[in-house]
Amino acid sequence: MKLAILLLLSVFTFAASTEVIGSPEAIESPEAIERTEAIKGAEVVAFSDESLRPRYQQLLQELRCPKCQNQNLADSNSPISQDLRREIQRMLEEQMTDKQIKDYLKSRYSEFILYRPEVNKNTWLLWGSPVLVVLLGLLILLRHNRKPEPSAENEVPTASNEVPTAIRGAGATDKEAPTNSSDQQRLAELLGDKENQQ
Amino acid sequence: MNRLALFIPLALFFGLSLVLLLGLDKDPTELPSALVGEAFPPFNLPSLKDEQNVVTEQDFNGEVVLVNVWATWCFACRIEHPMLNKLSEQGVKIIGLNYKDQRAGALAWLVERGDPYQFNIFDAKGRLGIDLGVYGAPETYLVDADGIIRYRRVGVVDDRVWESEFRAIYEQITGTEQ
């Protein structure tokens, strides 16, 4: 079963990876590549006021690179991320608030760019699911703990319950050992019943 | 009752499989468009052919236009270019947005491959690109006579894409049969 799931998953992954072919190219103008080469990943950002830096870092953590979708702007070194970092720096220098900056980017790149999405009609389930799962867990736990209480359904005697009693009753005392044929027959029936049950 | 409960994991498995299966048809690199239904962002940039000539959104002249984002470094733009030439011949007005490119190379490209554009906006720094939410090239925007973006395509526009995605909206807003 595990193997089957793994196989199934690998098929999904393969199918998903082929999707990428034919997608639009990443933005990599020669100019941008040159710039990247020159800096070699070490981007020096100068702020007029050092108190802007923590906010800058925080925003880069929370905003997603539109092209390289599993990286945020801090991690990604794609040209589009470099441009957006520059834009964010500019907006911080212009005394825009974090919310204004996020709204600015959201209006252009859609909600997709927010790694911490707002709560709205599309995302309430996403935000609410941890709470729902915890509630579900509590519910299951409560039901589980109550189980030992005898309930009518569990106490209904079944054929398989009766048979061992009959055998025990038959074999326990020699005095009452079945001797006549009708008893023998009954025992055979009961044993046969038991075998059928199994 | 208990017996039916045994099938719950199986049902969950099939449910999950179905969700994943439907997800296969989606292109994860395609972002939802924030600008469809919004006005084309105002701009003020030099044209490609004449550095001194500044173009703005007023130069769309209140006509239905396609705005095509392209660059010489974009490989898929080579594939797309013949389609743009064809659309231009059919009377579709196309404005080029030459994106983060170099002027000389871009001009040579137009000589070599034909020029389907009414004019080209030269956006060397990608500022208009950011206002449009461009994250890859080529991208194509359908702008109506009121300057509202009606459709956006990220990726190559070919015959199939034009027929299935653009044509109906284009004919509706121009009020013509192409």
Residue range A65-101, pLDDT digits in tens: 988 878 899 998 888 898 899 999 999 999 999 999 9
Q: With respect to residue B116, please indicate whether it lies within any of the assigned structural domains.
A: yes
Residue located via tokens 């490609």 = B48
Q: Tell me which residue range forms the domain holding B125.
A: 35-174
Cβ within 8 Å, pair B31-A87: no
**Is A27 within 8 Å of B100 when comparing Cβ atoms?**
yes
State the CATH number of the domain containing residue B170.
3.40.30.10
Residue B22 lies inside a defined structural domain of this protein:
no
3-state SS, residue A132: helix
| Model pLDDT, residue B139 | 93
Provide the chain A residues 5-24 that lie in CB contact (below 8 A) with chain B. 8, 12, 15-16, 19-20, 22-24
Angstrom CA distances, A130 to A124, A137, A180, B156, stand at 11, 11, 68, 40
Q: Apex CA A104: angle with CA A103 and CA A109, to 5°?
A: 90
Residues of A in contact with B136 (CB under 8 A): 23-27, 67
Could you give the CA distance from residue B123 to residue B43 in angstroms, rounded to a whole number?
Answer: 10
Interchain pair A24, B154: CB under 8 A: yes
Residues of A in contact with B35 (CB under 8 A): 107-108
Its ipTM equals 0.78
Q: How many CB atoms lie within 10 A of CB B94?
A: 19
Rounded to an integer, the average pLDDT of B15-26 is 89
B126 inside domain: yes
Q: Is residue B9 part of a domain?
A: no
Please give the residue that has the higher pLDDT: either A36 or B168.
B168
Nearest to A86 by CA among B102, B129, B139, B96: B129
Structural domain contains residue B70: yes
Within 88-127 of A, beta carbons closer than 8 Å to B belong to: 106-112
**pLDDT tens digit string along A6-42?**
555 554 444 444 334 444 555 555 555 555 544 555 5
H or E stretch covering B120? strand B120-123
Task: Single out the residue of B105, B113, B122 nearest to residue B49, CA to CA.
Answer: B122
Residue B53 inside a domain? The answer is: yes
Best mutation target among A5, A83, A120 (most B Cβ atoms within 10 Å) is A83
Q: State the DSSP code for B125.
A: S
DSSP for residue A120: S
- Cα gap B143→B164, rounded to integer Å: 17
**CA B176 to CA A14: how far, in whole Å?**
44
Task: Name residue, tokens 């760019």.
Answer: A113
Residue A50's identity, in one-letter code, is E
pLDDT tens string A121-139: 888 888 999 999 999 999 9
**Structurally, how many domains does chain B consist of?**
1
Q: Identify the residue whose tokens are 């984002």.
A: B69
Predicted pLDDT of residue A157: 52
Q: B-chain residues within 8 Å CB-CB of A19?
A: 24, 27-28
Residue B1 lies in a domain: no
Chain B residues closer than 8 Å to A4 by CB: none
B2 belongs to a structural domain: no
